[in-house]
Copies of this chain bind each other. A is one copy, B any other.
Amino acid sequence: MTISEASKKYNLTQDTLRYYERIGAIPPVHRTKSGLRDYTQEDCSWIELVKCMRSAGLPVEAIIEYVKLAREGDQTIPQRKLLLTTQRKQLQKQMETIQMAITRLDYKISRYEEAMVTGVLTWD
């Protein structure tokens, strides 16, 4: 799969795909004899992983570290597990933070709804 195909498939720009590879957020991608990127199924699953994690807000740094460990082989499994559980905890915390904000927004929105009906805006 060419970079333009991969770009369309994952809705990431070609620049972003090259960037992820350059910084090590995905392992080096397979190339054709003439040096063009030729994404394999495995390359694609790395892209999908980084896309999933980035969109959730994981720092690129953490992803780079994970890829580095994964490329070092099975002896890094405990470190990888630790890394993932640490990031999982962060995401859980972030969900709670967002939930609190949503609750607060809902309260404000309901008061605005009230105000739009009654013409009275109760305490802000």
Listed in ascending order, the chain A residues whose CB lies under 8 Å from chain B are 49, 52-53, 55-58, 70, 74, 77-78, 80-81, 84-85, 87-88, 91-92, 94-95, 97-102, 104-106, 108-109, 112-113, 115-116, 121, 124
Contact = CB atoms under 8 A, between A and B. Distances in A.
Contacts of A115: 74, 77
Contacts of A121: 74, 77
25 contacts: A53-B101, A56-B97, A56-B98, A56-B101, A57-B57, A57-B98, A74-B115, A74-B121, A77-B112, A77-B115, A77-B116, A77-B121, A78-B112, A80-B112, A81-B112, A81-B116, A84-B109, A84-B112, A85-B105, A88-B102, A88-B109, A91-B101, A91-B105, A94-B98, A95-B102
Nearest to A79: B112
A100 B36 CA distance: 32
Contacts of A78: 112, 116
